Amino acid sequence: MRLTKMRQRMAEAKVDGAIIMEPNNRRYLSGFTGSAANLLVTSDQALLVTDFRYIEQATAQAPAFKIVKSAGGTSLQPLVDLIGGMKLRRVAFESDYLVFDGYNYLREALGAEVLVPLKGIVEGIRQIKDQSEIELIHKAQSITEQALEKTLPLIKPGVSERAIALELETWMRRLGADKTGFDTIIASGQRSSLPHGVASDKMVEQGDFVTIDCGAVYQGYCGDLTRTYVVGAATAEQRRIYDIVLQAQMAALDGLKAGITGRVGDSFARTIITEAGHGDQFGHGLGHCVGLAIHENPRLSPAEDAVIQAGMVITVEPGIYIPGWGGVRIEDTVAVTENGITNLTTIAKDLMIL
């Protein structure tokens, strides 16, 4: 099915071959999870070029592909030989991934007229998840939630952000994660105003906000979750800011569905935060799609005109960030349906005092 969709896109682009190098795209089309391989897809052939280290693995993981052993030297020369031998006249390449030196090598060997730059040729297919992919993302999200719940007892005054991150990441691996999808964000106190405040040596203090943004990877697919807690006791202002963000997120979850643009989806939450007087302190988009990569398109953003479609899996993560004071973000990962969403996130989000 994936190769069929790929060939449809190739036909639309009027190319008779496509070189796929980006690791997530390579895995999506072939199933191969190793670190060194290139794909060449034509209208009637699917080839995976790799070296001695990965022949056995590729043979097992990519049964729909003919495995071609690279004889050594540059990893691009086998592609040149295959393309020349098949007499392909127009070959697409991932213009947003192939580096300049690689393009020059192919151009000099094949001729510029053969190479057709195509951005997002596979990513466009990856946007709509099938049920098996949604189930893998759900599992990644479940592992993330369980790990966070097991880490919460550690969060107390005198414990460093790094120690919290280590505990959380260790629990993810114990619960079956391949790895984390990104550097874990643990931002406490005034640092919680940093949207991407990765864990530091700062010690948690009484009265701190603690924002935790984390995500496990399970069988290649990413989870993404953010919760903000208060240590000790919450002030009235902390509760007010938290309630605004929670109200904004709930409005977005209620409004999100297939057929709206990313701009409209973003506005569900942004309008509430702006009307509360904090629009300038919500400086990022409401969300992004997730899958094999932690950040995929389309986005929920004031600048996004793409239409959100059923089968997309997307984050909903409004926030308010006040420099010198702190911040709040609440994030769920959801699967979009024709009439709304299925929330893949179940962990509580009412303000929790630790």
Order of strands, edge to edge, in the sheet holding 179-180? 179-180, 216-218, 221-222
Kindly list the domain boundaries of the chain, sorted by start residue. 2-126, 131-343
Rounded Cα distance, 296 and 127, in Å: 8
Rounded Cα distance, 262 and 49, in Å: 38
Q: Name residues whose C-beta falls within 8 Å of residue 52's C-beta, 6 or more positions apart in sequence.
A: 69
Q: What is the pLDDT along the chain (354 residues), one digit of tens a residue?
A: 999 999 999 999 999 999 999 999 999 999 999 999 999 999 999 999 999 999 999 999 999 999 999 976 567 999 999 999 999 999 999 999 999 999 999 999 999 999 999 999 999 999 999 999 999 999 999 999 999 999 999 999 999 999 999 999 999 999 999 999 999 999 999 999 999 999 999 999 999 999 999 999 999 999 999 999 999 999 999 999 999 999 999 999 999 999 999 999 999 999 999 999 999 999 999 999 999 999 999 999 999 999 999 999 999 999 999 999 999 999 999 999 999 999 999 999 999 999
Residue 48's alpha-carbon distances to 51, 78, 122, 191, in angstroms, are 10, 10, 16, 46
Is 282 within 8 Å of 320 (Cβ atoms)? yes
Is 258 within 8 Å of 275 (Cβ atoms)? no
Question: Nearest to residue 264, comparing CAs of 300, 318, 293?
Answer: 300
Kindly report whether the peptide bond that precedes residue 78 is cis, defined as omega within 30 degrees of 0: no
What residue type is 261 in one-letter code?
Answer: T
Superfamily of domain 2-126: Creatinase/prolidase N-terminal domain (3.40.350.10)
pLDDT of residue 75: 78
pLDDT of residue 74: 60
Q: Which two tokens stand for residue 326?
A: 């702190």
Is 42 within 8 Å of 88 (Cβ atoms)? yes
Q: Name residues whose C-beta falls within 8 Å of residue 151's C-beta, 6 or more positions apart in sequence.
A: 164, 167, 168, 171
CATH number of 131-343, picked from 3.40.50.300, 3.30.465.10, 3.90.230.10, 3.90.1150.60: 3.90.230.10
Q: Name residues whose C-beta falls within 8 Å of residue 309's C-beta, 6 or more positions apart in sequence.
A: 127, 128, 258, 259, 336
Let me know how long the chain is. 354
Max Cα-Cα span within the chain: 72
Is 225 within 8 Å of 333 (Cβ atoms)? yes
